[in-house]
Structure 1
Amino acid sequence: MRLYYHPASSSSRRVMLAAIHMGTPLELTEVNLMSEEDRRRLVTLNPNSKVPVLQDGEFILWESCAIMQYLADRTHGQTLYPDNILLRADINRWLLWAAQHFAPPIGVIVYEHIWKGLTGNGGPDPVEIDRASRLVAQFAGVLEQHLAGRDWIVGDKLSLADLAIAPALTYIEQAQLPVKHYPKLMAWLARVAELDAWKQTEPVW
């Protein structure tokens, strides 16, 4: 299986975290998102022109959380995505929550503080940052409440849910993400940060 990815992409990091933790072998192809030629190649694999993309023979799969689920189903003996239907439903709930609610406003703040300047699109827009910060506060509050009395998002073990949610916080320092005043969230993130897979996928600045 081949993964088209970019090491600075938090969505790519989701997949890499799961694959490394499960010991799932992947052939890696880094996509230069600043290259027009690489972008043209990427859109032939994913019409959304986004990474990551998984190629397994003739089968092409995009959307990071879907790729995580697929890799888990392809990996014998993995524990991140158990067969129990109730646990899977709970994990699926948090994967969708991460993609729909938590990650998008964080992505806005990361863009405004980091990628916008690096791509020559000007400085941070305080209006956009304020709008996104209010959404981050709303959903970080949901996660903070959920983590009361818990070490992990679902059940009592690390799961795909943790590895889908945590990468949004990759640039917590560089992007000044407004989440440090949530103690349960920060304690949970510290547990994720102790994973070998997290350390191996840390972007290099």
Structure 2
Amino acid sequence: MRLFHNTLSSNGRRVLMVAEQLGLPLDIIHVDLMSESERARLHEINPNGKLPVLDDDGFLLWESCAIMQYLCDITPGQQLYPQQARARADVNRWLFWGSQHFAETVSVLSFENLWKGMIGMGEPDPALVARAEGGLRQLGAVLDAHLAQRDWLVGDALSLADIGVVSPMMYLEQARLPLGDFPNLMRWFDRLRQLDIWKNTEAG
């Protein structure tokens, strides 16, 4: 299987973390998003022009959470994505929440505080930053409360839920994410950062 990826992508990283945990080898195809020709080729395999994209013997799959679920579904005996309906629905709940709310809000701060200056688009927009910080604090409070009496988002072990939600926090410091005042959330994040799947997928 091939994964079209860029090491700056937190969405791609969550796929790598799953593959690492499952012991699935992936042939990584680096896509230079600053290259017009490579962006054009990316559009040929994903009409949205975004990463990551999985190529499994001609089956092209985009959307990182769908890729994560697929990798689990083709791995017998895996423990990341439960088979029981309610447990799986609970994992899906956090995957969708992470994608639709948490990661989207983080992406605003990542762009304003990190990428905007790097690509020459000027200074952060104070109004956008303030709005996103307020939204992220609300989301952080949801996570913090949920994690008050538990080590993992779902059940008593690592699951796709944890991997899906944690990935955008790779830019905690650089994007100045206002999450440091949530002790349960940060305890969970520190636990995940100690795992080999986090350490082994850090950008070199």
- TM bin, normalised by shorter chain, reads over 0.9
Map Cα deviations across residues 87-143 of structure 1 (whole Å, 9 max, x no partner). 111000100000001011111101111111111111111111111111101111111
Kindly state the Cα deviation for residue 13 of structure 1 after the two structures are TM-superposed.
0.7
Q: Distance in 2 between matches of 1:47 and 1:118?
A: 26
Partner residue in 2 for 1:38? 38
Kindly state the Cα deviation for residue 27 of structure 1 after the two structures are TM-superposed.
1.1
Identity %: 51
State yes or no: 1:4 paired with 2:4: yes
Over aligned residues, Cα RMSD in angstroms?
0.8
Q: Distance in 1 between matches of 2:32 and 2:58?
A: 23
Q: Distance in 2 between matches of 1:120 and 1:135?
A: 26
Map Cα deviations across residues 147-171 of structure 1 (whole Å, 9 max, x no partner). 1110000000000000001111101
Kindly state the Cα deviation for residue 203 of structure 1 after the two structures are TM-superposed.
2.5
Amino acid at match of 2:17: L
**In the comparison of the two structures, how many residue pairs are matched?**
204
- Write out aligned runs for 1:50-69 (5 A): 50-69=50-69
Amino acid at match of 1:71: L
Q: Distance in 1 between matches of 2:166 and 2:65?
A: 13
Partner residue in 2 for 1:164? 164
- Write out aligned runs for 1:116-195 (5 A): 116-195=116-195
Larger deviation, residues 94-103 vs 195-204: 195-204
Provide the secondary structure at the position in 2 that maps to 1:154. coil
**Gapped regions of structure 1 (runs ≥ 5):** none
Provide the secondary structure at the position in 2 that maps to 1:170. helix
Provide the secondary structure at the position in 1 that maps to 2:106. helix
Provide the secondary structure at the position in 2 that maps to 1:174. coil
Runs of at least 4 residues off by over 6 Å: none
After TM superposition, the score normalised by the length of structure 2 is 0.98
Partner residue in 2 for 1:90? 90
Provide the secondary structure at the position in 2 that maps to 1:203. coil
Partner residue in 1 for 2:72? 72
- Write out aligned runs for 1:8-27 (5 A): 8-27=8-27
Larger deviation, residues 92-101 vs 69-78: 69-78
Q: Distance in 1 between matches of 2:189 and 2:99?
A: 17
Map Cα deviations across residues 33-57 of structure 1 (whole Å, 9 max, x no partner). 1110110000111111110001112
